[in-house]
Structure 1
């Protein structure tokens, strides 16, 4: 049932810098759901808790309680408290439980809301299956020696043989898949195997949306149904994870136990220019730094805690995203953009299938300006388009994420990194002004200052910053062999990253940006110059 095999290829790849028992497996429903689609080696190591690197250990931030853990601990502890029968009593109980915890003000507001949402969903579910009582968190079974299969979540049961595992989501329930997904299949199977299992007649897996008290039944069947569903849906992914041996850097690197010594990550020691380690192993991008500078609380709420968001985006961000999406599709043809590509909205050759008429009207002038300076030509060899690049800065203990809009080899055999920015501000007058206005320039220049040499070895390389307004376009360029330019980029990144790197409180800085903040409904300090709803989509 559990595949404990450690493939020879995997063993050859990792044993020089890993120690521990490879035959001890601990596999969660979340592992099976997510890890089969990410880095194979990261997944194989994640489910082997005893395997570690003697060279590096990930550091966790324990200054803030685990969000979902806090919600479920409180919610399940107060099921039988008679005070929860009234709204005022419920608020009293929640406050009593949360007061001792060091919660960020915005997180506290969400947690209060989520606990009440969970209890509301619990009441509705109890009317469908009366008699359910909370039994335990994180049920575990041991189908093979050295193997543990488990699911993160609360388990309920009644005396009539019904067991129910609940999946908690920070927002609302998702669209129900036509067949159970791997998480559901593992959860149902674990519930069926958990002792005592002799009298279990019915197994349910339920998903609860904490933001709006929504819920839906993902699985409802017998133990036999659960076993067959697990075998057909989850077991193939489980075997894929346990036997994984290839590397694929991605967003999961920040949580990986070998990120600091993984050969698949670019070595970018000193990238952030920080002399000391931060509070924990983190990941960062240029956009993270810019978001933090706008409001540390917004960075923490969205990038670290992932609270539900409003559908609120600034016009500049929306315009930039639409332009980049259009250009990525157009450039994937390896054909230079022309005026015909940005014709009328209904023109099938203008890449408008996923854009509304109003959005197209907004970005069309910017696309017209791009056509004048599109870099794609017959003699250009495109290497990547918006492909993420991940590296590790050992001095700061930070995974560095970048995603250049385009990397290509030009006609003169030079490696070119091209970044595109749209703006309604005045066009920068020169390189210095463009550098100051767009942090992406310093960030990408600093890649080379930190040792990155790209996927194409060339004696020459340069960074191009394409700036587009509604009525003008210009390309600013820096030679990546210019030591003065690289030192300037290093200084810019060091100074702007320092506050983020040393922060652990994430205080809000209210201002006009609150208008577009997607999580302003949770922030007690958000400026409310318009009506803010506390229940967000």
Structure 2
């Protein structure tokens, strides 16, 4: 199978790696990685890393006030080898922890500190819960792993030595946003091994034995992507012929962010903590709530079209998933859901077929070396053809301006091109894109057919105009303007000190 040559990213793609390097310099006077592998960090990431290191050092004082634990410059690795085959060959499996490793001088206590982008406090935004299997594996390696330096080549196994089993193992996580500390494991090596056998080992075994392929955002780092037969190929869909750039994922959301501000798109791409209260103002929250409510209705069993009675019964206070609406927003949201009943796509779905809501679709454009992802609001079949429905909601009773629907909603442009190229199957002659816009006065439904050559040309131009600047950009500079006040990552922006941006709030995620 064809393998793609390594193409280094313009900037460090893993934000916590930059934090780790800064801590390496503080604790060991050097970066432990091979300098040739280190990519420069975006200036916005440098701002975050500086803040994260300060928060980490503050957290350490509460973890080890007496300074009894010393940082270990070596990596902790647990190795196992299979039985030799008839030719004497063995397979080496390695588990290596990724975090800050500490031990007392006698190595009777080993402590692994895992970093988290946001907060380590339960219930705080950006906290979440770590997978128990991940915690068990980390504790197991801390208990039974040996010490090893970074291999010269990434494919080489570690040269493990100094495997001394401690008496006590601790695993904690530290929130780089607020310096919070969350205990994850504290016990003996025997307890760590028992947790590993129960929680982690079955998952690892299933991973090693897995043979099926599942296209998704992970394709971006797979060395077999270029020749993978399970990843649908869409050559030229972006209208870009440039294979020289590093492979990246791309969605319409990414393109819209980039058009607003290249720095914002990059800082969100690398998952820096963002202010969710800014990103999800009450208009956006209402849109998400309406969308989530309709998604639940379309997933009901047995499948049936929506009716006016399916709207929230309590019109001024209702909740769905993580979205809670009250007052005018709740009343408007409920009214928009009721309006949807008149144009519900399930009225036209072929009997015996299953509409699909919010399924991630993945495609590969080999001419641009881009993994493209999309998530249709609803896919259904009508007269044997695939129909892609996008649902939008607004407080405005009539359209603002005369903008083409494909330009206003680039996801519709992408949907049209994918249907035209037959990427979703079915009878392309009757396929269509439906853009449903829910208004207080009633729904608008605009249909676009892949049989319309002029509409296909417009859709392709919309995608190319958005994708080409993003694809060729090597700097991801800020785009200062009034929109900075509503930027959810303004705290980390390189231009933040010179702009009247909003102050950081407790909504950082």
What's the TM-score once normalised by structure 1's chain length? 0.79
- Distance in 2 (alpha carbons) for counterparts of 1:408 and 1:226: 48
Structure 1 residue 395 displacement after superposition: 0.4
Structure 1 counterpart of 2:180, from 214, 226, 232:
214
Q: Counterparts in 2 of 1:237-252, with a 5 A limit?
A: 237-252=203-218
Q: Counterparts in 2 of 1:130-141, with a 5 A limit?
A: 130-141=67-78
Query: 1:384 aligns to what?
Result: 356
Query: 2:114 aligns to what?
Result: 167
Q: Counterparts in 2 of 1:335-374, with a 5 A limit?
A: 335-345=304-314, 355-358=323-326, 359-374=329-344
Task: Write the deviation string for residues 332-353 of structure 1: whole angstroms up to 9, x where unpaired.
Answer: 12211111111531799x9857
* Contact residue 377 and residue 391 of structure 2 kept, 8 A: yes
CA 1:461–1:501 in structure 2 vs 1: closer, same or farther (change >3 Å)?
A: same
Task: Write the deviation string for residues 450-492 of structure 1: whole angstroms up to 9, x where unpaired.
Answer: x333143454211111122222321111221222221221111
* Contact residue 341 and residue 351 of structure 1 kept, 8 A: no
Structure 1 counterpart of 2:430, from 436, 460, 467:
460
Structure 1 residue 310 displacement after superposition: 4.1
Structure 2 counterpart of 1:183, from 134, 146, 152:
134
Structure 1 counterpart of 2:414, from 428, 443, 453:
443
Task: Write the deviation string for residues 28-67 of structure 1: whole angstroms up to 9, x where unpaired.
Answer: xxxxxxxxxxxxxxxxxxxxxxxxxx34346341533753
Query: 1:264 aligns to what?
Result: 230
* Contact residue 389 and residue 435 of structure 2 kept, 8 A: yes
Structure 2 counterpart of 1:150, from 85, 92, 96:
96
Total equivalences in the alignment: 463
* Contact residue 416 and residue 464 of structure 1 kept, 8 A: yes
CA 1:424–1:497 in structure 2 vs 1: closer, same or farther (change >3 Å)?
A: farther
Of residues 275-284 and 423-432 in structure 1, the stretch that sits farther from structure 2 once superposed is 423-432
- Distance in 2 (alpha carbons) for counterparts of 1:302 and 1:442: 23
* Contact residue 180 and residue 218 of structure 1 kept, 8 A: no
- Distance in 1 (alpha carbons) for counterparts of 2:410 and 2:471: 17
Query: 2:365 aligns to what?
Result: 393
SS in structure 1 at match of 2:476: coil
* Contact residue 448 and residue 486 of structure 1 kept, 8 A: no
Structure 2 counterpart of 1:506, from 476, 482, 493:
476
1:285 aligns with 2:239: no
Structure 1 unaligned residues grouped into runs of 5+: 1-16, 18-53, 82-99
- Distance in 1 (alpha carbons) for counterparts of 2:24 and 2:316: 56
Structure 1 residue 112 displacement after superposition: 0.8
CA 1:343–1:225 in structure 2 vs 1: closer, same or farther (change >3 Å)?
A: closer
Structure 2 counterpart of 1:324, from 291, 302, 327:
291
Structure 2 unaligned residues grouped into runs of 5+: 30-37, 82-89, 147-161
Q: Counterparts in 2 of 1:470-485, with a 5 A limit?
A: 470-485=440-455
- Distance in 1 (alpha carbons) for counterparts of 2:234 and 2:437: 27
CA 1:58–1:416 in structure 2 vs 1: closer, same or farther (change >3 Å)?
A: farther
Superposed CA RMSD in Å reads 3.0
Structure 1 residue 318 displacement after superposition: 2.2
CA 1:472–1:183 in structure 2 vs 1: closer, same or farther (change >3 Å)?
A: same
SS in structure 2 at match of 1:267: coil
- Distance in 2 (alpha carbons) for counterparts of 1:464 and 1:443: 12
* Contact residue 308 and residue 339 of structure 2 kept, 8 A: no
- Distance in 2 (alpha carbons) for counterparts of 1:504 and 1:483: 34
* Contact residue 364 and residue 371 of structure 2 kept, 8 A: yes
Structure 1 residue 367 displacement after superposition: 1.5
Runs of 4+ aligned residues of structure 1 deviating over 6 Å after TM superposition are 176-180, 429-432
What's the TM-score once normalised by structure 2's chain length? 0.83
- Distance in 2 (alpha carbons) for counterparts of 1:305 and 1:242: 28
Query: 2:9 aligns to what?
Result: 61
- Distance in 2 (alpha carbons) for counterparts of 1:170 and 1:275: 36
